[in-house]
Structure 1
Amino acid sequence: MGLAAASFVAGLVLLASAPAIFLPEMDAGSTTVAMELPPGATLAETEQVALAATAALKAVPEVRAVLVHAGQSPTGLADPRYATLTVGFTDRHHRAPVSELRASLATALTIPGARFDLLRDGGGREVSAGIRGRDGEATSTAALRLIEAMQAEPMFLSPGSDMPGPKPVLRIVPDRDRDADLGISADTVAETIRLSATGMPSADLPVFLDGPRRIPIRARLAPEARGEMAVIERLAVPLPEGGTIPLAAVASVETGEQTASIRRVQQMRQIEVGTDMAPGFAPSDGMAWLGAYDGFPSGIGLANTGDSENQSDTFTAFAVAMGAGITAVAVVLILLFGSVLAPLTVLAALPLSLCGVGLVLWVAAVPVSLPVVIGILMLMGITTKNSISRRRSWSGCFPDRNARMSGARCRPAGSRVWSRSSHPSGRCHFAPKHAGPHPRSARSGAAAGSTGCADHG
C-alpha cells in the first residue's frame, strides 16, 4: 500500500507538471488569419490592406497560396472593416508544423493600422480570457494594461483584444432656444437628416410611369457627400409657416468619436483578450500566467473564455467522473467480497497505472489533452477489470453460497451433477457424477420440467 500511495503522488506530480492543451492541433496544411481595420474603414481600404497582407504572407517560404475574403470576419460577421485570410502551406513533409510557423506569420503581418489574429482549427486563439467589470472605462484601461504586460513576456505571441477602436461619428445637436423661436421641433430636424441620408420610405416614394412599368424615385445625398460638413450644414429644414432654413441655423454640426460596440456578459462589460503561444510554451503556461496576474483594480475580474474555458470545464468534469467511477467500483467490490481490505488490493493497481501514464507523457514530451484524459479514463477501467480477474484467480474456488448453508442445491431432473473433489495438485477439481431423483421429489426425475436436489460430494 505504501508503494501504491507513493506511485499515486508521483503520478499526480508528473501530470500536474506536464503541459496541457484542450485539443492537439491537427496539421491540415492551412490556417486562418482574421484581419480587422479601425471602425469607419471602407471596403476598398480593407481590400488594399488585405492585398498588402497577402504579399507579406507570400514572402514566407512555406506559404503556397493565400485566399482573401474581404468584408466578412471568420465568424460570419459582415462588416467592411473585416477580412478573412486563408493561408495554404506547402507539403507538410518539407516544412515545419503549422504550430511552429505561426511565429513567422506573426512577424510578417506587421502592417500599421491593422490587427491580425492567427486562429486555430476551432476558430479561436490558443489562450483567451475575458476581462469583466461594471465600469466600462476601467475595464478598457485594465485590458490595455494587461496586453502591455503580455507583450513584455516572451511566451506570448501577438496578444490582442476584441476591443474595437473609437468609431468616427457626425453629431448634430439642435439649438433648442432657436428651434423654439422658429417653431421647429427636434423631429423635424431628424426627419430632414434621415431623408437626406436614406431617402423617403418605400411606401411614400413617387413613381415614374413608363407604360406598364412603375419606377420608384428615391432622392438622397450621394455617398461621397454624406461625410462633408459643408453639405450637411446646407440641408434645408422646413419651417411651419412655409419656406426653409439651413440646418446650420437651427443645429450645430460637429465630428466626434464613440465606442463602436459594447459586449456584456452577466450584466458586466467584457473585453476578450487572446494570444498565441511561442514555440516551447503550452496554453497551460499562459493560463497559469494569467491566473497569477495581479494588476487588476478593484471591481475588475478575469474569466476563461474560448478554448481555455472548454479546457478547464472538461478537465474538471473528467476528474469528477473519474473520482465518482472509482468510488462506485469500490462500493461494488466491498459488497461483492464482503470485506474492505480485499477491494483495496484490487484498487491498489490504479495509482501504479497513473504513475505510468505520467512517466510516459513526461518522457515523450506530450501535453495533456482531451484524448489523453479519455485514454486515462479507459486505462482505469481496464486496470480495475484486470485486478478483479487476478484477485478471483488467486482466491481459489468457493462453493456456492446456498451450498455452504444447506449442503445441497437444486438442479433440473435428469441432469448431471458436478461434484467438488480435491486434486493432487492442490487445485479444485469438478467431476460429473450420476444423480437420481431426490427422495423428497414429488414427481419422477424423468418428467420434463421437474426438479430435484442432489447433495454435494
Structure 2
Amino acid sequence: MKLVKTSVKRPVGVIMIVLAILALGAVSLRSLTVDLFPKIDLPVAVVATTYDDAAPQEVENLISRPIESAVSTVEGIETVQSQSQSGSSLVMLMFSNGTDLDQALLDVRESVDQVKGMLPDSAGEPNIMRFNPDQMPVMWVGLTGQDAAALTEVADDQVVPFFERQGGVGSVSVEGGKEREIQLILDESKLQQYGVTTQSIVQSLNSTNQSASVGTVEKGNKDLQLRITGEFSSVEDIKQTIVQTEAGATIYVEDVAKVKDGFKEQSSLTFVNGKPSVVLSVLKKTDSNTVEVATNIEDSIKEIKQELPSDVNLDVIIDTSDFIQMSIDSVVQNILIGGIISIFILLLFLKSIRATIVIGLSIPIAIITTFTLMYFTGETLNILTLGGLALGLGMMVDSSIVILEHIYSFRQKGYSLKDSAIKGASELAPAVIASTTTTLVVFLPIIYVEGIASDLFTPLALAVSFSLITSLVVAVTLVPMLSSKLLKKAIKDGGRRYWFDRFLDWINDRYRSILKWVLGHRKTSVFVTILAIVGSLALTPFIGAEFIPSADQGQMEVRIETASGSSLKHTEEVVEKVNKELEAFDSVIETNYVSVGGGGFAGAGGGGANQATYTMQLIPSSEREKTTNAVVQEMDEALQDIPGAEITVSSMDSGMSMGEPIQIKLKGPEHEVLTELADQVVDEISTVDGIYNPESAASDGVPQMNITVDKDKAAMYGLTQEQVLGQVQLQFTGQVATKYREDGQEMDVSLMYPEDQRSSIEDLHDMKIQTMQGSTISLDEVAEFKQMSGPVSLLRENQQPQMNVTSQIVDRDLGSISSDVESVLASMNLPEGYSYEIGGQSQDMTDSFTDLAIALVFSIFLVYAVMAIQFENFLFPLIIMFAMPATVIGVMLGLFIADIPLSIPAFIGIIMLAGIVVNNSIVLVDYINLLRKKGKDRYEAILEAGPSRLRPIAMTTLTTILAMVPLALALGEGAETQQPLAVTIIFGLGVSSIFTLLLIPVIYTLFDDLTAKITRRNKNTEEA
C-alpha cells in the first residue's frame, strides 16, 4: 500500500505528525469537560404558574387544565403531566427524541399566550422553561456560628457575590436564611378610633413612596432634568407617612400601627450536623467543568474565610465532584493496570523489548488521539468514555500484532528491514482494515437507539471507535516505520523465555489432538455446542435484569413527614428525635444536612411545614465495611420507632436522574377513587420479595376551614365577596403595601395584625369586618364556616387524573421484582374505567432492551455484509458467524458466576462482541483457504492452519481480556457501572475463542461437504 511505503521512506515526517497529534491531544485533555456520566438528553419543558392561596382543585380547574389543553396540540409532544397544589401549577411536557426543543418552546409559548387571558386575574404569569438535568447544584456550602439573621446578611453581602464571581459558577442560592421585612403591625382599636381603613393606609404608603421625572427646564445654555424624589429613605419616613381619615383629618402611620424593622416568618429551617445554619447551593454554567467549578469554590472558600467574622464557619457540606474525581481516578488507574498487563503479554509472546515497544506505542498514541477527537465532537470525559478506552485498550494492539507478525515472517525469509516492513504491512493491511471494520460497524445501529440507552451508548461507542481507528492508522504507518529502524535483532529463539515457547508447543500439540477428535466426531461436537447454548440460556432466570448498575456513591436521604397541617415547630421536634437516633451512625456519616419545611437535596422533599429532608454523605466506601444500601436498611429500622411521623430512608442515585426503580401509574376519572386504589396497591405490592418502602403519592388531606361568604348579606352592608375575603387575608397572612430600599437592598413593607389576633380559631370567629361606612361587623354575620380536609396535590397525565405508587428495591434484581409486581397488579380487580401502567426504571429498562435488541440484529447483519465484501463470498462469512452463538455461553456463564444482572452496559457488551468474536474466525478461515489454494487438502489445511494461527489468536484474545480484568473486578469508586460490560466481554470473548478454534473448523467441513454435494447434484442435473 502507498501509505505504508510513504511512512517507511519518510520516518521523520511520521514522527513529526505523531508529535503534533500528541501535543494537540494534551491540550484537548486539559479542555475536556469532566463529569460522572454523559449528558442525558431530556427533551422536557416546564410551564410553572402561581395562583396564591387557591386550593388544589381550583388550581387544577382554572390553571392546569386550560394550559394542558392548549399545549397538547404542539408537535412532538408525547406526554403532558400536571401537578396542581395549593397556590401553584406545574405542567411538564415530554417530547419525543430528536425534537428541536428550541422550536418546541416557541410553539409552547404561543399556545400558552392564547389561553393566558382565560386564566384568573390573580394568577401569576406562566413561566416557560427548559428542564435541564445539568442544573443541579455542584456543591452545598454551610454557614454556621451565628443566628440565622446574621448568617443571612453575611451570605447575601459577602459570600454569594464572591462565589458568583468564580470561574464556571452560574448562580448561588440561599436556603434557611431570614428575609428582612418592615412590618406595620396594625392596632384595630386605633383604626376604629380614627376611622381609617387598611386600604387607605396602603394607598397613602404607595402614593408617598414614589419618585418620577417631570420634565426639563433651561438654565443658561443647559437643560436641567426635573425629578421629584419621594421614596422612603429611612424607617422613620414610613412612620411619618400621612394618612387621611374619613372625617378629613390627617394622622401618621405610627398613630395606627407599630412600625417594626424585622424579618419574615421563616417557612424553612436548615441544620448542618445538628447546628442551625444557612446553606448555599452552587450551580455551574451549562458548559462548565463540574470538577473545575468545585475546585474554584474550594479555593475561594480558603480566601474568603479570612474576611468573615471570627465566629462564622464556612464549610463544604456535600461536594458532588469528589465522587466524580474518585471515579475518574479509579478508571484511569484501571487503564494503567490494563496497559501494563497488555505490555507484559506482548513481551511474553514477542520475546523482544524493541518489538514490544513498537506495538506498545500504539496504546498511548491511540488514547491521546481519542482525547483530541472527543474534544472536537463535544464529548465529556466520564466513567463511560474512559471505560470505553479501557475496553479498547487490549484491542488497540491487535492490528499492530498482526502486522508485526507478518513483518517477522518476511525477515525470516531473508528480506531486508525496509523491504520486510513494506511487504509485510502492505500484504496484510487490507485484511487488518476489514477486521477492524467488523468491530466498528457494530456501532452504526446506534442511530436506531433512542433514550437513555443512546445517551450512554453513543459516547462509549465513539471512544472505542476513535481508539480503534487511530490504532489501525498506527498499525499501517508507525509500526512498519519503527520496524524498519528498530527490529535489527527481532527474532530470538531460546534464551530466558524458552520455557514459554515449550509451553506454547505443548498447547499446540494438545490443540492439534483435540482438533483431530472434533473433526472425527462432527455431529457430537455440534450437538455438545447446542446443548451448552441451551444450558446457558437456562441460567437466564437466575441472572435477572436491571437498568443501570448503581455505584456506591455514599449519599443517603431521609424523608420525614408528620401529620398534614403540622406546624414547623412540631416537625422540628421530630427532627430532634431523629438526630438522637442518628448518633449511632456517626462513625459512617461524614456530613449531615437537614432542611425542615424546605426542599432538601436537589429540591427533593416537600416544601411543606410538615416535611423535613435529610441529606447525608457517608465516608468513602473504602473506609467503611458496609455498603450504602446496608446502612440504609439499618437506619430505616432504627427510625421506624419514632412516633408521629412517616420516615423513609433511601440511597441516592449515582449522578443520573433515572426515577424510582418501581413506579405504578394509576389512571381513572376520579381523584378520590385513585387515592383509595393507590393505598390498596401499596398493601398488595408490599408482599413482593425485594420491594422496599413502597409509597403512594397521595398524602393525607390538609385540614382546612372553608369560609363561604353570603353575598346577599354582604351586599346589605355595602360589601362584596372580594372585599370580605381581602380583609380576612390581610388579618391572617398580611398584605404587602409597598417596597423599601436601603443600601441597594429592596424589602417588603407589609401590613399585618398582631400575632395574638391571628393564631386561633377563635380569632377567626371574632374577626371584625370594616364596612364602606367605617363601621365594623362580625365575620359571622356575613359568612359560614365549615371544617374539612383538602388534598395536598392533584396529578394528571395526558389530561386524565393519575396517582403514582413508587418503591425502592433491595436484595433482588429489578427485572424479577417488576415481573412479580406485574403479576400482583394483574390479579387486582380495578373498577371499570381505571387502569395501571408500569413506569420508572422498569419501563426505561424494557424500552432500552428492546432498542438495543434491534441494534444487535442490525449489527450482526452489518458484520456479515462487511465479511461478504471482504471474502467476495456469501458462504465463508456464514461459517464465521457460527462463532456468535457460542458467545451466549460465555456471556451467561460470566454474569452468573459474577452474580451480575443483565443491564444496559452488559447489553452493550454483547453488541460489541458481535464485532469482536468474528475476528479470530476470520484469521482462521482466511488461512485455511490460503493453504487450500496452495494445493493442500482440506483436512491437512485445517490441521496446519489451526495450530499456526493459535499464537496470534491467543495474543490478541489475551491482551483484550486481561486489559479488562481491573474493570471486571470493579476496583475503585464508581467502577460498578462498567463491571457488567467488562465481564460480558471477558467471558464472551474467552469462551467464544475456544469454540472458534474447535467449532469453526467443524462447521467449515460441514458447509464444504454441503457445497460439494449441491455442486455435484447441479452438475448431474446439467448432464442429465
The TM-score, its normalising length taken from structure 1, stands at 0.75
Q: Which amino acid aligns with 2:783?
A: A
Q: Which amino acid aligns with 1:145?
A: Q
Asked if structure 1 preserves the Cα contact closer than 8 Å seen for 2:543 and 2:902, the reply is: yes
Deviates more, 1:25-34 or 1:98-107: 25-34
Asked if structure 1 preserves the Cα contact closer than 8 Å seen for 2:561 and 2:611, the reply is: yes
Asked if structure 1 preserves the Cα contact closer than 8 Å seen for 2:568 and 2:610, the reply is: yes
Task: Return the alpha-carbon distance in structure 2 between the equivalents of residues 144 and 95 of structure 1.
Answer: 37
Residue by residue, what CA displacement relative to the aligned partner does 1:126-166 show, whole Å, maximum 9, x if unpaired? 43333333321222111101111233344322222232221
Task: Return the alpha-carbon distance in structure 2 between the equivalents of residues 227 and 6 of structure 1.
Answer: 78
Structure 1 equivalent of residue 707 of structure 2 = 172
Residues 1:108 and 2:632 aligned together: no
Task: Return the alpha-carbon distance in structure 1 between the equivalents of residues 802 and 880 of structure 2.
Answer: 50
Residues 1:46 and 2:571 aligned together: yes
Structure 1 equivalent of residue 543 of structure 2 = 18
- Taking every aligned residue pair, what percent have the same amino acid on both sides? 23
Q: Alpha-carbon deviation of 1:173?
A: 0.5
Change (3 A) 1:40 1:29: same
Task: Return the alpha-carbon distance in structure 1 between the equivalents of residues 649 and 667 of structure 2.
Answer: 21
Q: Which amino acid aligns with 1:36?
A: E
Q: Which amino acid aligns with 1:23?
A: I
Matches within 5 A, 1:415-454: none
Task: Return the alpha-carbon distance in structure 2 between the equivalents of residues 383 and 372 of structure 1.
Answer: 16
Asked if structure 2 preserves the Cα contact closer than 8 Å seen for 1:129 and 1:308, the reply is: no
Q: Which amino acid aligns with 1:301?
A: S
Q: What secondary structure is seen at the aligned counterpart in 2 of 1:69?
A: strand
Change (3 A) 1:284 1:231: same
Residues 1:81 and 2:614 aligned together: no
Asked if structure 1 preserves the Cα contact closer than 8 Å seen for 2:628 and 2:651, the reply is: no
Deviates more, 1:166-175 or 1:303-312: 303-312
Matches within 5 A, 1:22-421: 22-60=547-585, 63-65=588-590, 67-70=592-595, 71-76=598-603, 78-89=607-618, 92=622, 94-110=624-640, 111-112=642-643, 113-122=645-654, 125-203=660-738, 218-222=750-754, 225-279=757-811, 281-293=812-824, 294=826, 295-297=828-830, 298-334=832-868, 337=871, 340-396=874-930
Asked if structure 2 preserves the Cα contact closer than 8 Å seen for 1:118 and 1:125, the reply is: no
Asked if structure 2 preserves the Cα contact closer than 8 Å seen for 1:175 and 1:251, the reply is: yes
Residue by residue, what CA displacement relative to the aligned partner does 1:269-322 show, whole Å, maximum 9, x if unpaired? 33332223343x222222111111221513333333333333222222221211
Q: What secondary structure is seen at the aligned counterpart in 2 of 1:114?
A: strand
Q: Alpha-carbon deviation of 1:88?
A: 4.5
Residue by residue, what CA displacement relative to the aligned partner does 1:56-103 show, whole Å, maximum 9, x if unpaired? 233358644561321223341544333332334466455222223332
Deviates more, 1:190-199 or 1:328-337: 328-337
Task: Return the alpha-carbon distance in structure 2 between the equivalents of residues 169 and 275 of structure 1.
Answer: 30
Change (3 A) 1:301 1:56: farther
Q: Which amino acid aligns with 2:550?
A: E
Q: Alpha-carbon deviation of 1:229?
A: 2.2
Q: Alpha-carbon deviation of 1:370?
A: 2.7
Q: Alpha-carbon deviation of 1:30?
A: 3.8
Task: Return the alpha-carbon distance in structure 1 between the equivalents of residues 755 and 843 of structure 2.
Answer: 44
Q: Which amino acid aligns with 1:283?
A: L
Structure 2 equivalent of residue 416 of structure 1 = none
Task: Return the alpha-carbon distance in structure 2 between the equivalents of residues 57 and 324 of structure 1.
Answer: 53
Task: Return the alpha-carbon distance in structure 2 between the equivalents of residues 143 and 379 of structure 1.
Answer: 44
Q: Which amino acid aligns with 1:101?
A: V
Q: Alpha-carbon deviation of 1:383?
A: 0.9
Deviates more, 1:17-26 or 1:74-83: 74-83
Asked if structure 1 preserves the Cα contact closer than 8 Å seen for 2:736 and 2:751, the reply is: no
Task: Return the alpha-carbon distance in structure 1 between the equivalents of residues 747 and 878 of structure 2.
Answer: 88
Asked if structure 2 preserves the Cα contact closer than 8 Å seen for 1:73 and 1:82, the reply is: no
Task: Return the alpha-carbon distance in structure 1 between the equivalents of residues 819 and 903 of structure 2.
Answer: 16
Asked if structure 1 preserves the Cα contact closer than 8 Å seen for 2:544 and 2:815, the reply is: yes
Q: Which amino acid aligns with 1:344?
A: L
Change (3 A) 1:215 1:116: closer
Task: Return the alpha-carbon distance in structure 2 between the equivalents of residues 5 and 166 of structure 1.
Answer: 61
Task: Return the alpha-carbon distance in structure 1 between the equivalents of residues 713 and 531 of structure 2.
Answer: 86
Asked if structure 2 preserves the Cα contact closer than 8 Å seen for 1:322 and 1:377, the reply is: yes
Q: Which amino acid aligns with 1:102?
A: V
Change (3 A) 1:236 1:383: same
Structure 2 equivalent of residue 430 of structure 1 = none
Q: Alpha-carbon deviation of 1:183?
A: 4.2
Task: Return the alpha-carbon distance in structure 2 between the equivalents of residues 263 and 42 of structure 1.
Answer: 25
Task: Return the alpha-carbon distance in structure 1 between the equivalents of residues 816 and 771 of structure 2.
Answer: 67
Q: What secondary structure is seen at the aligned counterpart in 2 of 1:343?
A: helix
Asked if structure 2 preserves the Cα contact closer than 8 Å seen for 1:38 and 1:164, the reply is: no
Task: Return the alpha-carbon distance in structure 1 between the equivalents of residues 750 and 632 of structure 2.
Answer: 50
Change (3 A) 1:311 1:221: farther
The TM-score, its normalising length taken from structure 2, stands at 0.36
Number of equivalent positions:
398
**Which has the larger share of helix?**
2
Change (3 A) 1:245 1:367: same
Change (3 A) 1:350 1:232: same
Task: Return the alpha-carbon distance in structure 2 between the equivalents of residues 287 and 129 of structure 1.
Answer: 10
**Which has the larger share of strand?**
1
Task: Return the alpha-carbon distance in structure 2 between the equivalents of residues 36 and 223 of structure 1.
Answer: 26
Task: Return the alpha-carbon distance in structure 1 between the equivalents of residues 611 and 675 of structure 2.
Answer: 22
Deviates more, 1:61-70 or 1:347-356: 61-70
Residue by residue, what CA displacement relative to the aligned partner does 1:175-230 show, whole Å, maximum 9, x if unpaired? 23423444432122122122223444434x9x9xxxxxx99863323456434222
Change (3 A) 1:329 1:7: farther
Task: Return the alpha-carbon distance in structure 2 between the equivalents of residues 216 and 265 of structure 1.
Answer: 38
Structure 2 equivalent of residue 409 of structure 1 = none
Q: Alpha-carbon deviation of 1:357?
A: 0.7
Asked if structure 2 preserves the Cα contact closer than 8 Å seen for 1:233 and 1:248, the reply is: yes
Task: Return the alpha-carbon distance in structure 2 between the equivalents of residues 385 and 188 of structure 1.
Answer: 83
Q: What secondary structure is seen at the aligned counterpart in 1 of 2:719?
A: coil
Residue by residue, what CA displacement relative to the aligned partner does 1:404-440 show, whole Å, maximum 9, x if unpaired? xxxxxxxxxxxxxxxxx889x999xxxxxxxxxxxxx
Change (3 A) 1:262 1:374: same
Q: Alpha-carbon deviation of 1:332?
A: 4.2
Deviates more, 1:362-371 or 1:193-202: 193-202
Change (3 A) 1:226 1:376: farther
Asked if structure 2 preserves the Cα contact closer than 8 Å seen for 1:4 and 1:349, the reply is: no
Q: Which amino acid aligns with 1:292?
A: S
Task: Return the alpha-carbon distance in structure 1 between the equivalents of residues 851 and 587 of structure 2.
Answer: 40
Q: Which amino acid aligns with 1:74?
A: F
Task: Return the alpha-carbon distance in structure 2 between the equivalents of residues 6 and 269 of structure 1.
Answer: 52
Q: Alpha-carbon deviation of 1:348?
A: 1.3
Q: What secondary structure is seen at the aligned counterpart in 2 of 1:28?
A: coil
Deviates more, 1:151-160 or 1:333-342: 333-342
Task: Return the alpha-carbon distance in structure 2 between the equivalents of residues 299 and 59 of structure 1.
Answer: 50
Task: Return the alpha-carbon distance in structure 2 between the equivalents of residues 278 and 342 of structure 1.
Answer: 48
Structure 1: segments with no counterpart, 5+ residues: 208-213, 400-420, 428-457
